[in-house]
Amino acid sequence: MNELGRLEDLPADYRAALTEKNLVPLWPSLRAVLPPGKPAIRTQATCWSYQGLRPLLMRAGELTPIEKAERRVLVLANPGHGLEKMQASSTIYLGMQLLQPGEWAPSHRHTPNAVRMIVEGEGAYTTVEGEKCPMSRGDLILTPTGMWHEHGHDGNDPVVWLDVLDLPIVYYCEASYVTEGKAQPVTAEGVDGDYQRGGVVPAPMFTRSGKTFPMLRYPWADVRRTLESIAARQPAIGAVQVAYVNPENGHDCQRILGYSALMLRPGECLQMPARSTAMVFHQIEGGAEVSAAGADFTLDTADTCCIPGYTPITLTNRSADQPAFLFIADDAPLQKKLGVYEVRN
């Protein structure tokens, strides 16, 4: 590859004349924006221990009343992007949110899409467009773009969940904003929803739902049972993994970020090929080892880590007799739409 001319090679008066007219020469920066073979990646492999952050989150509960926070969250920030950017990867935002008994996080809606993966506690709920979704450990609750949502808590213990949003990319698009609202009337209970089983969907008078986001709550008990069943029925399968999809059309459940759950059988070691997407792993149950390009993380239950894209990853169940369950987030839906998604075997 040719060595390209540097900025310093150009006369000062020429550079000043360019700057004055808001012009920039491409060639000194061409290799930076188009590096050979592999992108320049700021995302660093980073791990956030739940036991490490939990006391700090509980302290936030004492220091800052919910009225002064709206959402009481500690952001899982990737140092590679700069902590102040509040991003886990180029597209993914992660935060651990605390709601104390009796607290209410008021209704709003915004352009970024969010999901919640519940980490601990019982009795809290998120109401999404009038559907009151109870929160239990391992449940996934969607609050897609433009949908009203608020959180409440009728239980007795702190409730914590992991928020995953596509905020960094929506913000980068200069399309991120919020609208505040009033408390929503509850019009539906999101306990046993319209979608009880794959392959069976509501069809009143032969008409299918036209909703973009027909299913808002994916109960962990159902997901776990499906994973256990796959593991039992298909001992030779490459990975015991399920995707969170739109039950009406089988597409990813949201448009920008993709979500899945993975079961590592007792003692299992799984090699994942390098993919162009950064990935987030959150330990729902059990413990795992995540190894990727020099990073080696030991995940205990409720720990979360981020691995940059274009990196092969090895996942190992740390237990020889118990399964381990991981929640995975990536930006494959976005990359596929953009036509830049790759798997490198």
- Of 63-92, binders to ligand 1HN (CB under 6 A) are 71, 73
Per-residue contact string for residues 119-158; x = within reach of ligand 1HN by CB under 6 A: ------------------------------x-x-------
Our CB check for ligand 1HN shows the closer of 163 and 252 to be: 163
Only segment of 13-21, 41-49, 163-171, 263-271 that touches ligand 1HN (CB under 6 A): 163-171
The two three-digit tokens of residue 326, written as one number: 């991981």
Decide if 93 contacts 307 (C-beta within 8 A): no
Decide if 253 contacts 245 (C-beta within 8 A): yes
Which of 77, 73, 81 is CA-nearest to residue 162?
73
- Rounded CA-CA distance 155/157 in Å is 6
Q: How many Cβ atoms are within 10 Å of 34's Cβ, its own excluded? A: 9
Minimum CB separation of residue 73 from ligand 1HN in Å reads 5
Among 167, 256, 264, 332, which residue interacts with ligand 1HN (rule: CB under 6 A)? Answer: 167
Can residue 223 be called a binding residue for ligand 1HN (CB under 6 A)?
Answer: no
- Rounded CA-CA distance 50/121 in Å is 14
Strands 188-189 and 131-134: parallel
Can residue 163 be called a binding residue for ligand 1HN (CB under 6 A)?
Answer: yes
Per-residue contact string for residues 230-269; x = within reach of ligand 1HN by CB under 6 A: ----------------------------------------
Our CB check for ligand 1HN shows the closer of 95 and 323 to be: 95
- Binding residues with ligand 1HN: total (CB under 6 A): 12
- Of 95-124, binders to ligand 1HN (CB under 6 A) are 95, 97, 105, 110, 114
Decide if 110 contacts 76 (C-beta within 8 A): no
Minimum CB separation of residue 114 from ligand 1HN in Å reads 6
Decide if 120 contacts 158 (C-beta within 8 A): yes
> Quick check: helix, strand or coil at residue 108?
strand
Q: How many Cβ atoms are within 10 Å of 209's Cβ, its own excluded? A: 17
Minimum CB separation of residue 104 from ligand 1HN in Å reads 12
Give, in order, the Cα–Cα distances in Å from 257 to each of 116, 243, 296, 297: 13, 12, 25, 23
Enumerate binding residues for ligand 1HN (CB under 6 A): 71, 73, 95, 97, 105, 110, 114, 149, 151, 163, 165, 167
